[in-house]
Every structure is written in C-alpha cells, then in structure tokens.
C-alpha cells in the first residue's frame, strides 16, 4: 500500500479557492486505532468557517485561532463527518474488524476530506445504517447527533408544539424528523425554497422567514429550537407558552447570558449546552434510520476536485439538504 493518499487540503485561510486536491502522507495506524478507507464526507458550515476563519458567533474566535493556527491552519485537511470501510485495525481493537462499513465523527482530528482516516476505536464511530449508502450516511452524524442531543434536552411529550428555526440546515432537518418521531407537532422556519423539502421530512407547518412571522396571531409553542445565530431572542421567548423551553444551537454570548437570566427569573427555561456526540447517540441514530424514522437529507454529491464548489453551495445556502464529497479511492 502506498504511503501517500489524496486529500482536499488548504494551506491558508481564505475563500473556497484555497481548497485543492493534493497528495499527502497517509496516517499511520497506532495501537487502539482503526484505519478507515474513507468513502464520503459532509461539507459543513463548520468546515467553511474553519477554512475562512469567519464565524457568525464571535466570542470563540481568539481561542480557536490560537488552537488551530494563528497565521495558517495547523491541520490542513478539513472534514469532521464521514462514512467509509475499515481497512485495518490496530493492536487491542475489538469493536471493529476489517471490512466493516462505518460512519461517524473525527472530532478535532478533522481529516475526513482525505482517503484514509486513523481514528481511536472508542471514538464516535458506529457501523453504517444498513439502508443508507456511504454518501447518505456521511450526512447524518453532524445534524443527527446535534439534533438528537437538543430534542432529548427538550423533554418532548407527544402532542408538544415544536418550532425549529433554521430547519433547512443539517441539524434543523434532523431535528424536524426526530421531533416528529417523538410525537411532536412540528413547525419549520426557513427560506421559501426549502418548503417542499421540509414538509417532505414531516413538518406540519412551514414559515418562510422572509414573509412570515411565526409568532403572529397569538401562535405559541412548547419548544423552540433555534439554529439561527442572528435571530431575535425576545421574539423567540415571547412565542413560548408558559413553562416553554427554548434551546439555542448556535448561541451568541449575549444569548447565553439572557438564557441564564430567563431560566432563573421566569417560568420558561433556556438551554445552550453543546452536544457530546457520543457513541450511544450515534448508535441510536443508526437504529432510528434503520427503523425508518430518519431518512437521507443529501442534496447532491460532488467529487473531491469540486470541493470549492461544495463550499460555495454551503456558504450561500444554495442547497436543499446536505452537500457531500465523494472521496475517491
């Protein structure tokens, strides 16, 4: 086996054009790790933000810059969410065997835009859903893990009215499906071009954020899950029923502070706790997929060479669902 592999890399922060396919060293397998021949990776907003180093939430800019490279990226292969096949296992590995089809999260190692991944056996990795392709499975972990985390924190009961603000993104689209599977009545807010997509995922009501006010006419909700970094906190809180729950998946520092105050001094509760992205959550998602509760949200699959185009589609929201890179092997 060659010691080199192909990967989409970047050596400087900037626009999508800084991405290119290069030959780089293949990762070395260590004890307790699995070597995955990667098949697909989701191109995410987080990838775009790391590439450009521009974030809608500003408070963590400085610590991230210090951690990941002040002048240029330390880790030059992006991608956190993947699906592939176990090629080899290191000493002491028992969870996986060569030939296993897997999907999961690379964590802060990144690297999913490359042909091979060396990952710890105890990482957030599980066998791929039997009823999904590699490309479909790669689009699950980001949105599914975060959506499952927040829907569990919402403590949903059958019949609860749930509003998902920013429902057309990867996390929001999974939240719509998971909330429906829990028996909720789901309203989705996003761009008008995503109306049919979201209704097809099971949303009961759709609001076009450009023309509709979800809080008008006295409408209120038991739960509001907010994925829009620039949304109005007051507008969301005012649209909650007494005892309602607000969950922010993309909080500004001011929202964090107002969440604490709202929870302390009103009958409404606010949460912004980030997802653990655990193996238990990933296996739960796999089981839900195989049971038919969650379906694919892939908009299109592009080759590695079109990574710049994939990032432009994600950044401009000219997509209906996830953009996935097919990793050539």
- Mean pLDDT computed over 205-210: 97
Digit-coded pLDDT (tens) for 21-33: 999 999 999 999 9
The per-residue pLDDT for range 59-108, each reduced to its tens digit, is 566 677 667 777 788 889 999 999 999 999 999 999 999 999 999 999 88
Backbone angles phi, psi at 312, to 5 degrees: -65, -40
Is residue 58 pLDDT above 70, yes or no? no
Domain identity same for 31 and 122: yes
Q: Is residue 15 part of a domain?
A: yes
pLDDT tens, residue by residue, 234-252: 999 999 999 999 999 988 8
Same domain, 197 and 177: yes
129 and 24 share one domain: yes
pLDDT in tens, 240-290: 999 999 999 988 888 899 999 999 999 999 998 888 899 999 999 999 999
CB 33 within 8 A of CB 122: no
Quick check: 328 pLDDT over 90?
no
Same domain, 8 and 130: yes
Residues 267 and 149 in one domain: yes
CATH of the domain at 194: 3.40.50.720
- Pair (246, 304) in one structural domain: no
* 240, HSE (Cβ side, Cα atoms, 13 Å): 23
Decide: 151 and 176 in contact? Cβ < 8 Å: no
Domain membership flag for residue 276: no
Residue 261 lies in a domain: yes
The CATH number of the domain holding residue 104 is 3.90.180.10
What number of other Cβ atoms are within 10 A of residue 202's Cβ?
Answer: 18
Q: What pLDDT, on the 0 to 100 scale, is given for residue 66?
A: 67
In-domain check, residue 277: no
> Does residue 289 lie within any of the structural domains?
no
Indicate the number of domains in the chain: 2
Q: Distance between CA atoms of 270 and 175, rounded to whole angstroms?
A: 17
Whether residue 247 is contained in a domain is answered as yes
Q: Is residue 280 part of a domain?
A: no
Let me know whether 73 and 29 are in one domain.
Answer: yes
Residue-number span of the structural domain to which 80 is assigned: 4-139+296-326
Query: pTM surpassing 0.85?
Result: yes
Same domain (yes/no): 11, 82: yes
* Same domain? 135 vs 147: no
What percentage of the chain has pLDDT greater than the value 90? Answer: 85
146/120 same-domain check:
no
Residue 285 lies in a domain: no
Of 283, 322, 294, nearest to 131 by C-alpha is 294
**Residue 10: pLDDT band with limits 50, 70, 90:** very high
> Quick one: 146 and 129 in the same domain?
no
CA distance 11 to 19: 8
Residues 40 and 67 in one domain: yes
Long-range contacts made by residues 257-265, C-beta under 8 angstroms, separation at least 24?
258/233, 262/237
């Amino acid at each position: 086996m060659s010691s080199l592999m192909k990967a989409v890399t970047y050596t400087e922060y900037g626009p999508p054009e800084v991405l290119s396919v290069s030959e780089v060293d293949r990762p070395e397998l260590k004890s307790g790790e699995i070597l995955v021949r990667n098949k697909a990776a989701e191109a995410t907003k987080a990838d775009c933000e790391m590439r450009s180093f521009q974030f809608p939430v500003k408070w963590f800019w400085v610590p991230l810059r210090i951690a990941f490279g002040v002048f240029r990226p330390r880790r030059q292969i992006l991608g956190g969410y993947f699906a592939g096949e176990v090629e080899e296992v290191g000493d002491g590995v028992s969870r996986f065997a060569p030939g296993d089809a897997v999907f999961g999260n690379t964590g802060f190692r990144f690297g999913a835009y490359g042909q091979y991944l060396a990952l710890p056996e105890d990482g957030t990795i599980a066998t791929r859903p039997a009823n999904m392709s590699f490309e479909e499975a790669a689009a699950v972990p980001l949105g599914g893990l975060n959506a499952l985390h927040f829907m569990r924190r919402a403590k949903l009961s059958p019949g609860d009215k749930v509003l998902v603000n920013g429902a057309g993104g990867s996390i929001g689209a999974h939240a719509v499906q998971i909330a429906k599977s829990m028996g909720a009545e789901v309203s989705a807010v996003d761009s008008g071009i995503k109306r049919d997509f979201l209704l097809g995922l099971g949303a009961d009501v759709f609001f076009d954020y450009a023309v509709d006010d979800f809080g008008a006419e006295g409408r209120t909700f038991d739960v509001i899950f907010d994925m829009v970094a620039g949304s109005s906190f007051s507008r969301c809180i005012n649209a909650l029923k007494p005892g309602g729950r607000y969950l922010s998946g993309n909080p500004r520092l001011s929202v964090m502070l107002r969440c604490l105050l709202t929870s302390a001094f009103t009958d409404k509760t606010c949460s912004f706790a980030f997802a653990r992205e655990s193996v238990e959550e990933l296996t739960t998602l796999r089981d839900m997929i195989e049971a038919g509760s969650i379906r694919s949200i892939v908009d299109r699959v592009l080759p590695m060479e079109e990574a710049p185009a994939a990032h432009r589609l994600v950044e401009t929201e000219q997509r209906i669902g996830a953009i996935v890179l097919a990793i050539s092997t």
